[in-house]
Structure 1
């Protein structure tokens, strides 16, 4: 009930950022391939940080 008072852990923040970047990359893939590739690179960097935390 009071989950909105709970702060996100650093891992949860990175996971949500990773998911957001992948969604943006998917949307861009139909219109701008270079921008989509850039978003994939950013998402990969975030994934590397997630793996380091685990």
Structure 2
């Protein structure tokens, strides 16, 4: 009945994914390849979670 009041979990995860990719890019520019690798892996994990949620919604 009040489903329009629920927050969209995918929207939050997309923001987090974009933030992680931005941080990874900044780390790469600084020459910090380890941080870049870790942030990219974290972003990939968030993206996989987004895909799982989208698949379960359809």
Q: CA RMSD in A?
A: 1.4
Runs of 4+ that moved beyond 4 A = none
Q: Which runs of 5+ in 1 are unaligned?
A: 1-5
Q: Which protein shows a greater Rg? A: 2
Q: Which runs of 5+ in 2 are unaligned?
A: none
Report Cα offsets for 1:1-54 as digits up to 9, x if no partner. Answer: xxxxx7741000000000000000000002201101100000000000000011
* Corresponding residue for residue 3 of structure 1: none
Distance in 2, matches of 1:26 and 1:42, equals: 13
Return the TM-score normalized by structure 2. 0.77
Distance in 2, matches of 1:8 and 1:37, equals: 31
Greater helix proportion = 2
How many residues were matched structurally?
A: 49
